[in-house]
Structure 1
Amino acid sequence: MLYLFGTVIILLLLILIDYVFGRLYHLKHVKKHDFPVRHSHITIFTSGPLLFEKMLADITEAKHHIHMLFYIFRNDEFGMTLLKLLEQKASEGVKVRILIDRIGSHRFPRKLMKKMSLKGVEMEYCHTPSFPFFFFHLQNRNHRKITVIDGKIGYLGGFNVGNEYMDLHERLSPWRDCHVRFTGEGVWDLQKQFMTDWTEATWRGIELTEKELYYPDLPRGNVQHQFFAFEGDCWEDKVSEMISYAKKSVIIGSPYFIPSKKAFGAILDAIKRGVEIILIVPEMSDHLFIQEASYRFLRKLIRFNCCSVYRYRNGFYHAKIFIIDDHICSIGTANFDNRSFYFNHELNSLFKDPDMVNEMLDIAKIDLSKSTKLTANMLQHRNLSGVLKEWVAILLSPLL
């Protein structure tokens, strides 16, 4: 028994050392991405079937290239439908590149990737865990979801590729998320981020002689926005900064609410200033321990009169939105959790356009109408197993 206990302690110490030095090494080599203010035409999608109906129509019309990056890409019914269309476009001479996260898409068969490559669809894994610092690399995921078509149309948001995102999952349907279609200047930056991630993952850069083909002249759109890329380094700072701007209200929508000390402190500071805090989280969970890990934070928030927490009950809530007063909103791939703060590679777009913010406020109102306000009694455990589960969740929360 003593030998087993000693072995476990040594293993935990090795994991801790791996994590600490792995993160220090990572932060030292993070590449900063500074995107300028852009103006694009914007369309917001909150339904998977509607989003992919439009995306597949855009793909069908592609003439030169299709670039896709997804955290999760399943080889299920919908995934194979998309791959069949991409195979068809490749046969027409369209260049198709697909990048998928090694852990997020761990069930995607390597044999199928090779098969697709033989048919002209280049598929590659990114963020494959490696030594040294294997444990840290295991957590350091590419969580971005980017699609670029002919360098003229771009998509960014929370939807991945799989049946559940098309409302074909028995328990999680309908899947409520948020995705944005861009045309105009902003597509340049989505293309740049894809190119960066593709080159880092494959060591195959895009030939300079083809550069203009991937970055065509684009019109100026009517919505001002700016992309922000994060690599487990500064999303926490950006969130805290956004909350510090608030004078009247902050609306946070996230499937996973496990804030860092700094981000949670920013919320508490806003409450002290009299800012109304509205939090939307899912009623159901798609991951073990996620809900229990959020309870200690939710209990503190619902004590304040100016803070309301709502559980979305009409399917699974997976949207990642931040709305500050009525003049700033953020949409993208980053959650309000430790993974997005400290591990994941994320991409969000910040909007200051009044019409865009008002549209997001209207969407939030609809979400709230399909939600139940959380009370202290709802967070009380009814048995010992619930208490133990929360304690386990607290211990695991740095990795959740």
Structure 2
Amino acid sequence: MLWIILVLLLFIVQIASIIIIEYRRSNKAIAWLIILFIFPLLGFLFYYFVAKEYSCYRTLRRKKNKHWEQLKAGLIARSKQRTKDMHETAFWRENNMHASLKNIPSVPITACNETTVYTEGKQAFEAMLESIAGAEHHIHIEFYIIRDDRIGTRFERLLIRKAQEGVKVRFLYDGFGSRRLGKAYLKRLQDAGVETGCFFPPLTTFFDKRLNYRNHRKIVVVDGKIGFFGGLNIGDEYMGKAPKFGYWRDTHFSLKGDAVLWIQYTFLIDWYLVKEQIITDSAYYPVQESQGREWVQIVKSGPDETILELIFSLIVSAKKRIYIETPYFVPDPGVLLALKTAVISGIDVRIIIPSVPDKKLVYYASLSYVKELLQAGVRFYCYQKGFIHAKVIISDDLACSGSSNMDMRSFCGQFELNAVFFDGKVVKRLVQDFYRDLSVSNEMLLSEFEKRSTMQKMKEVFARLLSPMF
């Protein structure tokens, strides 16, 4: 009898601990309480090792020395020097969203950029490999997933060749996303002189209670003059060679101009977190030669600097249209309310999601939000040509795209890199891509959606309750 009382007391203490720690994040608290009730005791151990609030960036701020501060201040000054004419432009005075983005001191808008948009893996990979082949000073590469397959081997061989030619090559990968990347692959790079680093090694982060965090960024910077980022990882499936998905639709970018400096800055901050090496040499931040006229704002986000506010602002500031493409749609309550409010206000709100899931739990959670948004008037479409992995938000004449999904993990638990595009040509291209994707998508009608089986509805309810965890 005594042991039953002790077990109950322990269970109550665990419940109380989760409620006290997560009281500011009620959705997350509910999700963990469900896990605790399904798996008593074990659920709390899982919570202890997985749910710890991330503090690495706080550590970085405490340790941040004058080198990083001076570097960032210098980059901000360079960016503002090239964008000083904005203050005289009616374009910025008339649009509240534009003006608010311009006034964010830590995320400056950059000028003189040239953007290339890629909608398929083959196009993007060939452009990356071509740029890497022409590198003269350095190559910085960072991906969430890197495969040791055909395209992964092409990157490996080229990086080895450039390192042997004397080009400085730094290579970062996420410990969880690239957990299948073999030691032999890394050893071949290291033997050739490539410096490698693992962001959050699984075993280390498990005991350090950071297992739930990922570096989801996809970055290539060549000589500090051209930068690539977007939704693609390195693997054959991103070229449409996975039988399960077939054609792979993604959105990736290359940039020339001042925005590259902030992609570089993001990479070198990540490098510092992994390797504790401070790299602030001016050679890595060269004067940009681009004569482009595009304005681009690079936005890096993570557990301590969420992108959620930006996404919310893009939705609530729209007056005519909100177009969203995302492989995972698990909005937080604020974004959900903003979408409902927008469509009730007469704004054209359309969302494209995959028809074939790659993660069933996340897919069922996504569907759980569809009905209430359909009832409000949001139009949903299921992409039919293959798997859509593009991550794009179009709000009137602004567009935001990069590595961030429309889900809680991207909002709060992953390191992401996005860009806001202000240029009409780039936004027009992304709108054209959106309509092209609509043409190969089936619209989800409320009358048909309500015919789902009881079993599927139950799966959706359960997935939604757990959605704050992923």
Please confirm whether the aligned pair reaches a TM-score higher than 0.5, indicating the same fold.
yes
User: Following superposition of structure 1 onto structure 2, how do residues 238-257 of structure 1 map, counting pairs within 5 Å?
Assistant: 238-257=310-329
2:41 is paired with a residue whose SS is: helix
Deviates more, 1:82-91 or 1:97-106: 82-91
Is 1:120 matched with 2:212? no
Residue 202 of structure 1: which of 254, 257, 275 is its match? Answer: 275
The 2-side partners of 1:363 and 1:112 are apart by 36
Is 1:265 matched with 2:347? no
1:230 deviates by: 0.7
The 2-side partners of 1:240 and 1:187 are apart by 25
Is 1:352 matched with 2:422? yes
Residue 309 of structure 2: which of 237, 254, 261 is its match? Answer: 237
Residue by residue over 1:194-249, the C-alpha shift from the partner in whole angstroms, topping out at 9 and shown as x without a partner, is 1110111112232x5xx122111103521101111111342111111111111111
Residue by residue over 1:263-309, the C-alpha shift from the partner in whole angstroms, topping out at 9 and shown as x without a partner, is 1121122123221211011111111312111122111111133x210
The 2-side partners of 1:160 and 1:24 are apart by 24
Letter in 1 for 2:370: L
Deviates more, 1:142-151 or 1:131-140: 131-140
Residue 168 of structure 1: which of 238, 241, 244 is its match? Answer: 241
Maintained 8 Å contact 1:323/1:329: yes
Equivalent residue, structure 2, for 1:303:
375
1:23 is paired with a residue whose SS is: coil
Maintained 8 Å contact 2:408/2:469: yes
Deviates more, 1:11-20 or 1:134-143: 11-20
Residue 23 of structure 1: which of 47, 53, 60 is its match? Answer: 53
Is 1:366 matched with 2:433? no
1:15 deviates by: 3.5
Maintained 8 Å contact 1:310/1:372: yes
Equivalent residue, structure 1, for 2:85:
none
The 1-side partners of 2:200 and 2:260 are apart by 24
The 2-side partners of 1:16 and 1:287 are apart by 21
Maintained 8 Å contact 1:155/1:182: yes
Residue 212 of structure 2: which of 139, 155, 173 is its match? Answer: 139
Maintained 8 Å contact 1:314/1:371: yes
1:190 is paired with a residue whose SS is: helix
Equivalent residue, structure 2, for 1:93:
166
Show structure 1 runs of 5+ residues with no match.
none
Residue 316 of structure 1: which of 364, 371, 387 is its match? Answer: 387
1:399 deviates by: 2.2
Maintained 8 Å contact 2:50/2:212: no
Equivalent residue, structure 1, for 2:44:
13
User: Following superposition of structure 1 onto structure 2, how do residues 66-81 of structure 1 map, counting pairs within 5 Å?
Assistant: 66-81=139-154
The 1-side partners of 2:379 and 2:448 are apart by 14
Change in CA separation of 1:30 and 1:253 when aligned onto 2, cut-off 3 Å: farther
Is 1:393 matched with 2:463? yes
Equivalent residue, structure 1, for 2:347:
275
Is 1:289 matched with 2:361? yes
Change in CA separation of 1:244 and 1:215 when aligned onto 2, cut-off 3 Å: same
Maintained 8 Å contact 2:326/2:352: yes
Equivalent residue, structure 1, for 2:65:
none
Greater Cα radius of gyration, structure 1 or 2? 2
2:172 is paired with a residue whose SS is: strand
Letter in 1 for 2:468: P
1:105 deviates by: 0.4
1:29 deviates by: 5.0
1:262 deviates by: 1.4
After TM superposition, the score normalised by the length of structure 1 is 0.91
Letter in 1 for 2:129: L
Residue by residue over 1:293-343, the C-alpha shift from the partner in whole angstroms, topping out at 9 and shown as x without a partner, is 1122111111133x2101111111000001001x11001111100110110
1:381 deviates by: 6.5
2:309 is paired with a residue whose SS is: helix
Change in CA separation of 1:394 and 1:30 when aligned onto 2, cut-off 3 Å: farther
1:130 deviates by: 6.5
Residue by residue over 1:112-161, the C-alpha shift from the partner in whole angstroms, topping out at 9 and shown as x without a partner, is 21231011122221122567875851111000001001111110100000
The Cα RMSD (Å) is 2.5
Count residues in correspondence. 393
1:37 deviates by: 1.2
Change in CA separation of 1:300 and 1:382 when aligned onto 2, cut-off 3 Å: closer
1:104 is paired with a residue whose SS is: coil
The 2-side partners of 1:24 and 1:68 are apart by 24
Equivalent residue, structure 2, for 1:341:
411
1:19 deviates by: 5.3
Letter in 2 for 1:349: A
Maintained 8 Å contact 2:322/2:348: yes
Maintained 8 Å contact 2:340/2:376: no
The 2-side partners of 1:136 and 1:376 are apart by 42
2:346 is paired with a residue whose SS is: coil
Change in CA separation of 1:320 and 1:120 when aligned onto 2, cut-off 3 Å: same
The 2-side partners of 1:161 and 1:101 are apart by 12
Equivalent residue, structure 2, for 1:51:
124
1:60 deviates by: 1.1
Change in CA separation of 1:61 and 1:131 when aligned onto 2, cut-off 3 Å: closer
